[in-house]
Structure 1
Amino acid sequence: MMHADLIDQEDLLGLLLSLGFQVPNGSTAEQACECAVRGLNNERAMILRTMVKQMYTSSATILPAVRQAIDKQLLPALAEYQQKA
């Protein structure tokens, strides 16, 4: 039986934690993304951009709640940060 790779809320939280972002246990995808964009600086912005690019270009399926959190929280914050820089 085949099953597709999925990126769910727990995967997102684990990935953010492994990249050094402080995300409270039990956070929703949206809350985790909110935490990740607090205090953006060049290094954090680059890490997040790379993470999102890898997620979006991988063959894994990003579950809707995770994609929505990235689209609503991460991408706008990164775009705003880049305009200010």
Structure 2
Amino acid sequence: MMHADLIDQDDLLGQLRALGFEMPSGASAEQACEYAVRGLSEPRAKALKGMVEQMYTGNATILPAVRQAIEKQLLPALAEFQNR
């Protein structure tokens, strides 16, 4: 039996919490990303960028809802932050 590594909503929440972002329990992937980009600072932006790069270049499959939340919330916020 094959076992695929998946990044689901719980994984995303866990990774964001590990970076120091406060997340309400039961938050959706989109809500978690919304919380993460609020009050974005230089250190937090770097941490988020690293997390996203690691997720996208790793071997794990990012579930569609998580990928959509990252692309809709995190990537635009990080691009805007970089352009300041």
TM-score range, shorter chain: over 0.9
CA distance in 2, matches of 1:81, 1:17: 21
SS in 2 for 1:17: helix
Residue in 1 that maps onto 2:35: 35
TM normalised by structure 2 equals 0.98
Residue in 2 that maps onto 1:52: 52
TM normalised by structure 1 equals 0.97
Give how far 1:60 is off: 0.2
Q: Deviations over 1:35-74 (max 9, x none)?
A: 0011011100000000000000000000000000000000
> Aligned residue pairs: how many?
84
SS in 1 for 2:22: coil
Flag as ranges the 4+ runs of structure 1 deviating above 6 A.
Answer: none
Residue in 2 that maps onto 1:13: 13
Which ranges of structure 2 fall in alignment gaps of 5 or more residues? none
Which ranges of structure 1 fall in alignment gaps of 5 or more residues? none
